[in-house]
Structure 1
Amino acid sequence: MAPQDALLGWDEDTTAEAYAAFTRAHPMYGSTSCDLARRAHLADSRLVVDLCGGTGATAEAILALAPADARVISLDNAPAMQRIGRRTLADPRLSWVTAPAEELAQHAPAGGVDAVVCNSAIWKTNISVVFAAVRRVLQPGGRFVFNVGGGFANVIHPDQQTGRIGPSLNTLIRQVAARDYGYTPPPVADRNGPKLPLETITEQLAATGLALVDTEVTAQHSTMAEKKAWLSIPVFARPDGDFTHAQRMDILAKAYAQTSPDAPTVTSWLVVVAEQPEGRP
């Protein structure tokens, strides 16, 4: 089953608006989307799926690299996210389909698709079902490209280890919450346990029949100001537990006040490229 914490809150207007505003103001999603689209080898593609496409940041990157006559299907199960996307990304080559990732095969054309790209969201799906659906719809030689946040995948890029100056914003948030709200953080093992390590991904791809082509741990460089903006989005706000959003924003503001807006931050990503074998049945 998909992790329950990944399924809540996305179909809320406040989250959709804040998420869309973040993607317009900050480079993280645009940068990771461009990276995934490049790895998908879209030069000859005619139909591409943006899986868990949200408000369309990844679809926009796909459209920029795909041929002029290519079409993109953005599939997401949160109508609120897609409402924002339809308003901000009007392109006749882009179709919006409201459905969970697990139902991909039910919404792909009979002729199949040339690539499936998923930015930042594969961990919140039932991957055994999703991988099987991707296998069903991909054309021979077609690529399935996705990424997983370093904390979820249990990977860390060397830049994240060497580039940190002082405590992370998440650490400061937990300290402020403990001081001002009596918050007791969960044990480190529970808090940082990987949700989708590479070993699990490799096993599931093999079980499905998709060929693993490449994996890479990449680094996303940003600033403390961007990190604060990301943690202001309701579904990403911290800490977990019985807090109102207003309380979380109070905690975030106090934690952020202990940092510098331009202080560098680094996040790690596990990028995975799989492929439909030639001559599939």
Structure 2
Amino acid sequence: MAPQDAVLGWDEDTTAEAYAAFTRDFPMYSATSRDLARRAHLADSRLVVDLCGGAGATAEAILELAPAQARVISLDNAAAMQRVGRRTLTDPRLTWVTARAEDLADHIPGPADAVVCNSAIWKTDVEAVAAAVGRVLRPGGRFVFNIGGGFAGVRHSDEQAARIAPSLHTLIRQVAAREHGYAPPPAAYTLPKLPLEEVTEHLASAGMTVLDIEVVAQHSTMAEKKAWLSIPIFARPDGDFSHEQRMDILTKAYALTTPDTATVTTWLVVTAQRPREQR
């Protein structure tokens, strides 16, 4: 089952507009999208799926690497995100489909050369998604996706080395505790939500072979982290706070940092493939 809180809030205009603005103003999503698209080996592709494609940042990276004859389908269940994407990404090779990731196989007209999913597989029923991807990929087709290090329970050495000063998340919790009596959730909630072992089991059950697993580091700044946490769906802390309260807490926490301080985020990148047919 998909996490209950993972599907809430995405189909809202305020989230969609803020998310799209972030992808234009900061490099995180464009950089991770280009990385995944490169790993998908798109040079000879004819049909590529951008799964949980949101406002189209990953579709744009796919279109840059795919050949002229390729078609790209960006599938997402949040119509608000796609409305924003349609305004800015008008390439005739791109088709927008509003549907759940788990229902992928019901909306793809033919075998896909690759399925790419950036930063979003954690909010799906991964077992059902893997099964659907396994059905739509052609033999030899690739499924490339990433998982945030916190969700996967991994950490890049660069992130470990960067943990000298308190993170913005830590400062947010401290401000919330001081001014609102906030208490963080029990430690059990910090356990990995999507460990690699679970992911590989789902891929194997869907008939796919894991080609590569890499823990990578995404480098950014405290200013970029603040902008990301300003998106309503990502705003912290959890609990009974209004968005205005969260933004006030964020502003006060950010004031305790230096904007150009380097920050590092860990990603677990997985490349899987449907086996080629045996002759």
TM normalised by structure 1 equals 0.98
- What's the secondary structure of 1:252's corresponding residue? helix
Who is 1:247 aligned against?
A: 245
Who is 1:226 aligned against?
A: 224
**Aligned-pair distance for 1:187?**
2.4
Who is 1:133 aligned against?
A: 132
Who is 2:170 aligned against?
A: 171
Distance in 1 of aligned mates of 2:165 and 2:186: 22
**Aligned-pair distance for 1:207?**
1.3
- What's the secondary structure of 2:45's corresponding residue? coil
- What's the secondary structure of 2:34's corresponding residue? helix
Instruction: Give the conservation status (yes or no) of the 8 Å contact 1:165–1:263.
Output: no
1:98-151 deviation digits (Å, cap 9, x = unpaired): 000001000001x31100000000011011111010011000000000000000
Who is 1:203 aligned against?
A: 201
Distance in 1 of aligned mates of 2:251 and 2:112: 45
Who is 1:113 aligned against?
A: 112
Distance in 2 of aligned mates of 1:172 and 1:87: 36
Who is 1:268 aligned against?
A: 266
1:35-61 deviation digits (Å, cap 9, x = unpaired): 000000000000000000000000000
1:179-229 deviation digits (Å, cap 9, x = unpaired): 001101112332x21111101011111111111111000000000000000
Distance in 2 of aligned mates of 1:132 and 1:205: 8
- What's the secondary structure of 1:146's corresponding residue? strand
- What's the secondary structure of 2:155's corresponding residue? coil
- What's the secondary structure of 1:139's corresponding residue? strand
How many corresponding residue pairs?
278
Q: Can you give the 5+ residue segments of structure 2 that lack an aligned partner in the other structure? A: none
- What's the secondary structure of 2:86's corresponding residue? helix
Structure 1 letter corresponding to 2:91: D
Matches of residues 59-78 of structure 1 in structure 2 within 5 Å?
A: 59-78=59-78
Distance in 1 of aligned mates of 2:72 and 2:204: 27
- What's the secondary structure of 2:30's corresponding residue? helix
TM normalised by structure 2 equals 0.98
1:6 aligns with 2:14: no
RMSD across aligned positions (CA): 0.8
Instruction: Give the conservation status (yes or no) of the 8 Å contact 1:164–1:264.
Output: no
- What's the secondary structure of 2:114's corresponding residue? strand
Matches of residues 126-165 of structure 1 in structure 2 within 5 Å?
A: 126-165=125-164
Q: Can you give the 5+ residue segments of structure 1 that lack an aligned partner in the other structure? A: none
Who is 1:237 aligned against?
A: 235
- What's the secondary structure of 1:241's corresponding residue? coil
